[in-house]
Structure formats: C-alpha cells, structure tokens
Amino acid sequence: MLSNAEIGIDLGTANTLVYSKNKGVAINEASVVVVDTVSKKVTAVGNDGKEMIGKTPEKVTAVRPLKNGVIADYDLTIEMLRHVIQKAAKMMGFSLRKPTIVVCTPAGSTSVERRAIQDAVRNAGAKKVYLIEEPVAAAIGAGLPVDEPVASVIVDIGAGSTEVAIISYGGIVSCHSLKVGGDKLDDDIIQYVRKKYNMLIGERTAENIKLEIGFALIEHEEQTMEVRGRDLVSGLPKTTTLSSFEIRDCLKESLLAILDTIKATLEDCPAELSGDIVDRGIILTGGVSLLNGIEEWMAKEIDVPVALAPSPLESVAIGTGKALKYVHKLPTTAI
C-alpha cells in the first residue's frame, strides 16, 4: 500500500507533476525557475514563474532547468523540486517525514543523466528515490497491461522529446527517442512567422497558436487566428492573421521526424509481438498528442489503430505513482 509519504513525480521539460494515492495528480506546476541574476536568489518557481517568461526586467531571468527531459541546470532543478515536494508535503500531511519518490527518466538517458536526477531528487528532500523509464510510466498511467506478455506500444510526445516504446512483461522490448517535441513545434512556428511576416512572437504566443490552429498533416476546414508581435523592421507592435493551413505546413518536418521514429521502433519489434500491435494499436500520451488530427494522421500513415490515453497530460505522473506497487517487477533503481 502507498503511504502519504510515497509519491510519484513526472519531472518534465515543460511541467512537473506530483501524484499521490489519495489525491491523484495533486500538483501540476510549470518547470520554470525565476532567478535574480545579481543576487542569485530564486524569486519565483512553477506557474508563477511561467507567467513571467518574456516579461522580466534585465536583471531577472526565467529559466527552464530541464531540457529534453534531463537536467540542464542542476542547482535550479533542486530548487524547483524542493518547491514541489514542500508543496506536496503540506497538501498531503507528511511534512515531518521525508517521502519515498518514484521519478521518471527518459529511456534514452545516460547513466550520468539518471544519476543526476536521483541526486537532485534526494537533495531536494527525498528519503529514497526510485527511477522508472518514462515510456513504462506512461504505459502504466495509460492503463496498459505492462506486466503481461503482450505488446503495448506507447508514444509519449512531451515538450522536449518524443519517446516511442514497445513494452512487454514489464520491460522495454524496443525503444527509440527523438529530441523533438512541443518546444520544437513552438520554435517552428516562431521561425515561420519571423521569416514570412518579419514579425517576432514569443514562446507563449507560439504555444497558443499551436493549441488553437495547429493541425497534423491532414485535410481540414481552414481556421484563422489573429496574432500580435513585434515588427522586425520598424520595431513597433504588429498584428497579423495566421491560417491553420500555414501552421500545418510549417510543422511538417518535425511531425514527419516523429513518424519516422515510430516506424523505426515498430520495425525493431519481434515478429511474435507484431500481431498484438495490429490488434491493440498505439497509445498516445504527452502534450503534443492533443494536436488537432494527430491520431487520424498517424493511423493513416502506419496503418495501425491509434488512440489517445485517458489522461494524456498526466499519464506519466500517474504511472510514476502507481509504479511503487510494481517495484519488484519493473526495472527501477533505488538509492
């Protein structure tokens, strides 16, 4: 049984989620730390920090301490983890006890990167740390029978990376990772608008465009969106109207790279498990799985059923929490 002092953490590039048995996903904070570059003090963490991205004065900077699912700034990652663990402690009532934590790592991460995550979580206040590979956590969170001898295919498209894995008997049979995710799609939109309209837009605006009128490579009824930014010639504020057809086309290269990664993983699948994939299909998780038309497009391209996980944004967090019951079966590592 999970106690209050046992939690799962999805340490994501864009968001950090905390799962507990009693409350489910209790905390969902942006993976952002705001630092005063003069005093070196942390002034905001999480969602408060995200609100400040692109709006801070010169001496204050908003940093995302994780990149492609792994730690890019060790000290700021500890600060961010300490914030979410303390918040979880108050919410769940284990403030006098150090929690046992299961935290996910990208399947393609190195032993050094995994050790850095373990050490950061422990230094942030954990009693014991277990690592679980992100695709396995996503599959558990999506309700797939990971410990049975059948193939479960999970495609987790997060902010920093895409992980595609075939899981059977509690382990990864085939897995490919790609450093393309939601952040890359946002950057594709920023670069397109810059090149086509001589206009500079911020990360949050690009993300809103992606969510509102972003489409996978499918035919659809055209949608438009009014976008504000800064004219690169005059330096003055500028407004333009974007079409969903434009956004679909500018995302093409990144989406095809994700598709190639899925195909490469399926090609590595043992023949005995291929029949399961045809019957059971592929499950999508992660923020980019919410892109308009992505299920329909992928199903058409790979000729295999594609479905969205019940809670695509929370699957990894739910899986990390539930993995405490699977520790004896799954390839986790404890300190």
* Residue 151 known to bind ligand: no
Q: Which amino acid is at 291?
A: L
* Residue 46 known to bind ligand: no
Signed CA dihedral, 274, 275, 281, 283: sign only: negative
* Residue 133 known to bind ligand: no
**Cβ(31)–Cβ(176) under 8 Å?**
no
* Residue 160 known to bind ligand: yes
Signed CA dihedral, 83, 85, 88, 89: sign only: negative
* Residue 208 known to bind ligand: yes
Number of CB atoms found within 10 A of residue 161's CB = 27
**Cα–Cα separations (whole angstroms), residue 311 to 69, 269, 305:** 19, 26, 18
**Cβ(202)–Cβ(54) under 8 Å?**
yes
Q: Which amino acid is at 228?
A: R
Instruction: Describe the chain by its helix, strand, coil percentages, rounded to 5.
Output: 40, 30, 35
* Residue 13 known to bind ligand: yes
* Residue 14 known to bind ligand: yes
**Cα–Cα separations (whole angstroms), residue 35 to 160, 172, 272:** 22, 39, 52
Which of 273, 287, 280 has its CA nearest to residue 316?
A: 287
* Residue 195 known to bind ligand: no
Instruction: Tell me how far apart the alpha carbons of residues 50 and 48 are, in angstroms, rounded to a whole number.
Output: 6
* Residue 90 known to bind ligand: no
Residues of the binding site: 13-15, 159-161, 207-210
Residues of the binding site for ATP: 13-15, 159-161, 207-210
